[in-house]
């Protein structure tokens, strides 16, 4: 077991959403634990979704400069590039696991990075896709 945990966009977003209530606290605690264990990873897709959502879609948007600081802080968590092979794998996973392509791209990135756990609110808690166990830490 690698102990590596992939973090989906929604958790990074909740951790910086002042209006997310208990979800914010849970997401922040998870990210702090992963920082201290040095076991958290994510993808460029997660950082892209984070930036767009926190600067444009939240009730209380995050300043763009602050969002860039967060991206810089989490940049070391991007351990593998998204490649054409990642996209092809995502297209296969989307079909075989019957999930949305963008969710499948997250799973493919987690698989490619060697993660054993994918922390996400978007997929079924406990589901295993491509050898990666989905855990919803907000339940």
Range of the domain at 43: 5-135
The sign of the dihedral angle between the CA atoms of 108, 127, 134, 104 is: positive
Q: If you average pLDDT over residues 58-82, what whole number do you get?
A: 98
pTM over 0.85: yes
Average pLDDT, integer, range 118-136: 97
User: CB-based contacts of 51: which residues, under 8 Å, 6+ apart?
Assistant: 67, 68, 71
Sign of the CA dihedral running 110, 21, 37, 43:
positive
| Structural domains counted in the chain | 1
Rounded to the nearest 5 degrees, what angle is found at the Cα of 23, between the Cα atoms of 21 and 29?
110
Point out which residues pair with 118 in neighbouring strands.
6, 134
CATH number for the domain that contains residue 35: 3.40.50.1010
What is the overall mean pLDDT for the chain? 97
* pLDDT higher than 70, residue 1: no
pLDDT score for 73: 98
């Amino acid at each position: 077991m690698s102990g590596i945990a992939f973090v989906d966009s929604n958790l990074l977003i909740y951790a910086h959403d002042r209006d997310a209530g208990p979800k914010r606290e849970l997401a922040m605690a998870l990210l702090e634990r992963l920082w201290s264990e040095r076991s958290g990873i994510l993808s460029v897709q997660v950082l892209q979704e984070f930036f767009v959502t926190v600067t444009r879609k939240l009730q209380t948007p995050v300043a763009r400069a602050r969002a860039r600081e967060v991206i810089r802080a989490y940049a070391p968590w991007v351990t593998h590039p998204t490649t054409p092979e990642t996209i092809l794998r995502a297209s296969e996973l989307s079909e075989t696991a019957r999930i949305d392509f963008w969710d499948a791209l997250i799973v493919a990135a987690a698989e490619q990075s060697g993660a054993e756990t994918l922390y996400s609110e978007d997929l079924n808690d406990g589901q295993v896709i491509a050898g990666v166990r989905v855990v919803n830490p907000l339940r």
